[in-house]
Structure 1
Amino acid sequence: MTEPTSPITQDVLTLPRKLPEGGKVNLVGLTRDQLRDALIAAGTPEKQAKMRVGQVWQWIYHWGVRDFGAMTNLAKDYRALLDRHFEIALPEVVTCQVSMDGTRKYLLRIAGGHEVEAVYIPEENRGTLCISSQVGCTLTCSFCHTGTQKLVRNLTAGEIVGQVMVARDDLGEWPVPGEPKDETRLISNVVLMGMGEPLYNFENVRDAMQVVMDNEGLTLSRRRITLSTSGVVPEIARTAEEIGCLLAISFHATTDAVRDKLVPVNKKWNIKTLLDALRDYPRLSNSERITFEYVMLKGVNDSDDDARRLVRLIQGIPAKINLIPFNEWPGSPYKRSDWERIEAFADIVYKAGYAAPIRTPRGEDIMAACGQLKSATERARKSKAEIDAETGL
């Protein structure tokens, strides 16, 4: 594992033409337009700005370079100018735990001393990186460990992109100048399914994904990025129009009474409202199905009647249903459905014409599975009684 870089000392959401007083601006996470404005504000002639953006962009996102002095196609005086005004800083790696199944969980420290988690899941011929969008979460979904940690703040675009770059550091995925290009993609997919609700941090998530999808850097196709939302209806159309990635819905129930308890945002935008928005989703097609995530909770949402209601509800929506065996965590109020019950549920959904894969739990031994993410410091502070009190159970 590579040596972690220094923690981020400053992040910019919308950069003005004039640089802020004091400190250096972190270039990680700036869109091309924001990077152009930053370089001009630092003294780059406007006529050179487009070229300089392309050069700096490639060094940061294609080669993974953090030292301006190593950007050898730039003049020495220009490298010195960059070093005076800017930095290339990533979240600090506090720990990297490796599961028996190869899953890697990163505990990352960001500005302010806050911590978030990201998870890399290796599979045959591919690898998926699950990244976070907020420190904590506002949603308090009662089955989710992350939901028992209160929201601290949104992540900046730089802190979101930084998670991808940290994982590439750890996996040694940056190309090496002068060596044959390795076409293997260890990080072939990114899912916004970590800590937080991405659509409550829309602008930063959008800008970060613009960086990740840019074809001259990290070069991940929009079809390789999946954003998971609990159902923030007003931002769903914007996701298609301004990001264009695939969409997953944290669904988990077939009646409002049950979903109100499992996913409290349902009280604001109920099942019908959510499904109406999904039917109007601009990218809705058979080739770009919406994924419905459905965690299997014993005796709560796993009956044959639930399965039949589910297929009736989503009728007319090109979709697949990911059935997720509940990943238990200390103090969790639910139990995982029996395997036979999960298979019976899946069979009903499958016979109705929908793909219904049962997700294989990964990284459970290091608390890296779906719904288990929570920063170690927060986890250590909570007693079972406190967790129960927060979830209202």
Structure 2
Amino acid sequence: MKYTPAKPPLTGETLASLSERLHAQGEPAFRAKQILDWVYKKRVRTWDGMTNLSKPLRTWLDATFELIPAALVLNKQSEDVTDKLLLELGDRSLIETVIIRAPQEGVGLDASRKTICISTQVGCAMGCVFCASGLAGLKRDLNAGEIVAQLLHVCYREDERSPRARPELVSFDNIVVMGMGEPLANYDALIRALTIVNADWGLGFGARRITISTSGLVPKILQLAEEQLGFRLAISLHGATDEVREKIMPVNKAYPLAKLIPAVRTFSEKHGRMVTLEFILIEEINDSLPQAEKLRDIARDLHAHVNLIPYNTVEGLPWKRPSITRQERFADILRDARISVTLRREKGHDIDAACGQLRLKTEKDRELTIAG
């Protein structure tokens, strides 16, 4: 399903595209930069807040653009360090954005480092059997403005908790494109959104602090390798052999490891950056020691970092996480080979922080309310 909003979001405009629209209205070129400064630097949320613009121009902007194409529905805070924002779009679709805090000694939780996990689609078509995002299938792609708007909502939230030292600073430290959807299946909107996020007239956020995750769309990985902006890459691997990976990730049938690994190597060599291999540990599916050994060999070949993620339980799915002992034995195979590895501990389980869970629960509640 394709969604065409009544008015395009301002957050999807580049400096060039907005300048062109304004020029057609007889406005001087510098107006575009003024407007974008109000959005990204001063964080105004209404057209009337743009006080150095004339009333006729503000009226035209209001009639032409949606200022922020997403509204905050719910902000769930976990008992650990995770917040989940549930956002509603113009067609009432729901998406999730997650704030993951890394507590730092001596600065307090609010001032600690923050990684933001953003979504690129409403739902997902990839069909990974362990994931909540795809349980209801793919509804639609997000447009660039909807992707950018997620980060503005994070800024609004975090600015209230911890005021910025300087107006040009964003309120977080890293972005991971690992939320709902397959990012590279929405390639053009993704790149446009991240270009806006990176630009000095946008959020001015460094490309090296942005990681794009993919389930393994090989042609798009190769296309991403040609992009000038040096984003980081993470591969949702989750199986170290084709036999295991095909059981849980249908994408492996089109792009098996023999195609995927060379594409990842090409990206790494082009950008000179270590890639990350994401590996969700699922009990009796991919948590065996032979899988760990195969993963070790792949990571060594690619000079990759491995992120081991014990499975987050999803209502309606049968999968479980391995015991802590089994997790550690798996990780030790990698550690003993001096592979860079992180064994992640559970975050946000009490707020349904795994991709898509909160959205699905809210949609079910909506349906029950309507039916009742």
| TM-score bracket, shorter-length normalisation | 0.7 to 0.9
Q: Show CA shifts across 1:295-321 (max 9, x none).
A: 111111111111111122333312100
> What does the per-residue CA deviation read over 1:190-249, in whole Å, with 9 as the maximum and x for residues that have no partner?
111111000010000111101111123312111111111000111112223335311100
Q: How does 1:235-314 map to 2 (within 5 A)?
A: 235-242=220-227, 243-281=229-267, 288-314=273-299
Query: What is aligned with 2:370?
Result: none
Over 3 Å counting, the alpha-carbon distance change for 1:24 and 1:148 in structure 2 is closer
1:216 alignment partner in structure 2: 201
Counterpart Cα distance in 2 of 1:381 and 1:308: 46
TM-superposed deviation, 1:40: 2.6
Alignment pair present for 1:196 and 2:181: yes
Counterparts of 1:239 and 1:99 in 2: how far apart (Å)?
34
* Larger mean Cα displacement after TM superposition, 233-242 or 288-297: 233-242
Q: 1:41 to 1:375 in 2, by over 3 A?
A: farther
Match of 2:11 among 10, 28, 32: 28
How many correspondences in the alignment? 357
Q: Deviations over 1:130-155 (max 9, x none)?
A: 11100000011011111212100000
Check conservation: 2:9, 2:146, Cα contact below 8 A.
no
Match among 83, 91, 104 for residue 70 of structure 2 = 91
**Out of 152, 155, 161, which is 2:142 matched to?**
155
Distance 2:169 2:39 in 1: 20
Which amino acid letter does the alignment assign opposite residue 336 of structure 1? Answer: R
Contact 1:63 1:174 in 2 (8 A): no
User: What does 1:68-87 correspond to in 2, within 5 Å?
Assistant: 68-87=47-66
**d(CA) in 1 for partners of 2:25 and 2:315?**
50
Per-residue deviation at 1:87?
3.6
- Structure 2 letter corresponding to 1:35: L
Cα distance, 1:369 vs structure 2: 3.3
Provide the residue aligned with 1:352 in structure 2: 337
Secondary structure of 2:138's counterpart equals coil
Deviation, structure 1 residue 344 = 1.2
- Secondary structure of 1:142 counterpart: coil
Structure 1 residue 184, shift from structure 2 partner: 7.6
Q: Relative to structure 2, which stretch is displaced further, 213-222 or 124-133?
A: 213-222
3-state SS of 1:108 partner: strand
| Aligned-pair CA distance for 1:36 | 2.1
Q: Distance in 1 between matches of 2:150 and 2:17?
A: 20
Q: What is the identity, as a one-letter code, of the residue corresponding to 1:334? A: W
Percent identity of the aligned residues? 40
What does the per-residue CA deviation read over 1:289-347, in whole Å, with 9 as the maximum and x for residues that have no partner? 10000011111111111111112233331210000001111122211011111111111
Q: CA 1:267 to 1:37, structure 2 compared with 1: closer, same or farther past 3 Å?
A: same
**CA contact under 8 A between 1:327 and 1:364: conserved in structure 2?**
yes
Q: 2:31 aligns with which of 52, 65, 83?
A: 52
Distance in structure 2 (CA, Å) of the matches to 1:240 and 1:219: 22
The runs of 5 or more residues in structure 1 that have no matched partner are 1-8, 12-22, 383-393
What letter matches 1:111 in structure 2? G
Report the residue type matching 1:171 in the other structure.
E
The one-letter code of the counterpart of 1:128 is: T
Q: Is the 8 A contact 1:29 1:208 kept in 2?
A: yes
3-state DSSP of counterpart to 1:122: strand
CA contact (8 A) 1:107 1:375 kept: no
- Aligned residue type for 2:142: L
Q: Extract unaligned runs of 5+ from structure 2.
A: 104-111, 368-372
